[in-house]
A and B are shown apart, each in its own frame.
Chain A
Amino acid sequence: MAIDPKLAGELKPAGIHVTSFESLINWGRSSSLWPMQFGLACCAIEMIAATMAKYDMARFGAEVFRPSPRQADLMLVAGTVTKKMAPLVVRLYNQMAEPKYVIAMGACAISGGPFKQGYNVLKGIDRYIPVDIVIPGCPPRPEALLDGLLALRKKIAGEKLIGDHRVRHADPKGTAEFPVPEYGAHDLQPAANREIWNPDPVVHEEAAD
């Protein structure tokens, strides 16, 4: 429900702030993201740098890194997710309380990166958990991480909590848990969660044929 800007403007000089409950909740959530404290590879070094004095992620309310998934609401997948590590990452995600968000930081977390053709690296964490923001780079600079964080804040601020197009965590039918893959003989079983991961099936034919 939109707030009449004219009414809000009239009331503001009187010290009355008119807003919707949805906006208030989203403002609170976006202003105080608590990331989970874990890193998987070299991207984590940039993540750590972003929290330190020079880049100071605390400016955006996201400096409280929690060592427990129960207390965190932002999972920063910072680095290469090996197939051995992937089930643990999914399990940690499942243990986080709603609302929860995922940032895939760096080429590896997005697609496997330089290890995409290898035998032991997961080709993107979006195969198993829903990713809100992807930050390309190898690794992304702290500025890129901050930009991703601001993009996530913007996304949270625009979330619909009621109605037809509400977000997953506000939807009674939405799921907070995603299946944890099993270790198979050569690969994870299943190799991807097809309910959330369906890549573009288009194969671009060469111009010659």
Chain B
Amino acid sequence: MNPDVDTILTRLRGALPDATVELRANPGPAEQHSLLVAPADLPGVCRFLHDELRFDYLSNVTGIDWPDPVLADKVAVPEDDEDSGDPGKATEPQGFLEVVYHLYSHPDRVGPLVLRVRTGDRTDRVEIPSVVSIWRSAEFQEREIYDLFGVRFTGHPDLRRILMWDEFVDHPMRKDYVAPDDFEYEPTPHAEVLERARTHYPATEKD
């Protein structure tokens, strides 16, 4: 069953008054509300959840890429047109990477408690403290997020790529990743694929 997030939040704030923890409500029928935790406060919050609230099982860690708003399709063009052509000077809310943790408590039979942590941006400030010292199961999953999204987990004992090969650069699950164009013949190309087919195999003979 879903944990009582309000109670957890109250206890968290009582124990860690300085921690920045925010409730993000999920209005859907699942009602899986989540807690948005500041990266710096993550180790303390997780330690408290593990030791005091008995969340002994970290079932899942995953990543989300929130690109810069200028890359999104449905964002209106900003009013000051001088800056609109320069993606380097984006509008104020920059893109970021988010890491989501799903916690369960076996003794209390509750879960998942959803934690969300956001990085400062998508390029330089991508550090998030590792929780491997609290839940050992985070080790491979944090490596996977590092591999595919590029979040750097500080304090991780062995932060290497896990799925892609070591020589790989970039992080393929990011929304702006462009896969290599190794187009192969397709029997019925259409739309985008047809355009790519034309660039790879220009028609030499007339039909």
Contact = CB atoms under 8 A, between A and B. Distances in A.
Contacts of A14: none
Contacts of B165: 83-84, 183
Nearest to A199: B185
A150 B185 CA distance: 29
A201 B184 contact: no
A85 B203 CA distance: 34
Given A84-B165, A205-B207, A199 B179 contact: no
B169 A120 contact: no
A185 B169 contact: yes
Nearest to A197: B184
Nearest to B203: A203
B180 A186 contact: yes
A90 to B, nearest CB: 14
A84 B147 CA distance: 14
B203 A186 contact: no
A111 interface: yes
Contact of B184 (A111, A202, A203): A111
B203 A205 contact: yes
A118 interface: yes
A124 interface: yes
Contact of A186 (B168, B188, B198): B168
A204 B204 CA distance: 12
Interface in A142-194: 183-187, 191-192
Contact of A120 (B172, B184, B187, B189): B172
A205 to B, nearest CB: 6
A112 B197 CA distance: 17
Q: Report, as a range, how many residues of chain A touch the other chain.
A: 20 to 34
B88 to A, nearest CB: 24
Given A186-B179, A186-B180, A203 B168 contact: no
Interface residues of B, number: 26
A111 B168 CA distance: 22
B166 interface: yes
B76 interface: no
B198 A123 contact: no
Question: Which interface residue of A118, A187, A204 has the most chain B CB atoms within 10 A?
Answer: A204
A41 B36 CA distance: 38
A118 B184 CA distance: 13
A192 B189 CA distance: 21
B146 to A, nearest CB: 16
A130 B189 CA distance: 25
A199 B184 contact: yes
B164 A84 contact: yes
A21 interface: no
Given A84-B164, A183-B167, A118 B179 contact: yes
Interface string B155-196: 000000001111111101000010110101101111000100
Given A183-B166, A186-B169, A204 B188 contact: yes
Given A111-B184, A119-B177, A203-B189, 16 more contacts: A84-B164, A112-B184, A119-B172, A119-B179, A120-B164, A123-B184, A124-B184, A183-B166, A185-B168, A186-B169, A187-B182, A203-B197, A203-B203, A204-B187, A205-B203, A206-B190
7 contacts: A116-B184, A185-B167, A185-B169, A187-B182, A202-B201, A203-B189, A204-B189
Q: Which 3 A-B pairs have the closest CB atoms?
A: A199-B185, A187-B180, A119-B179
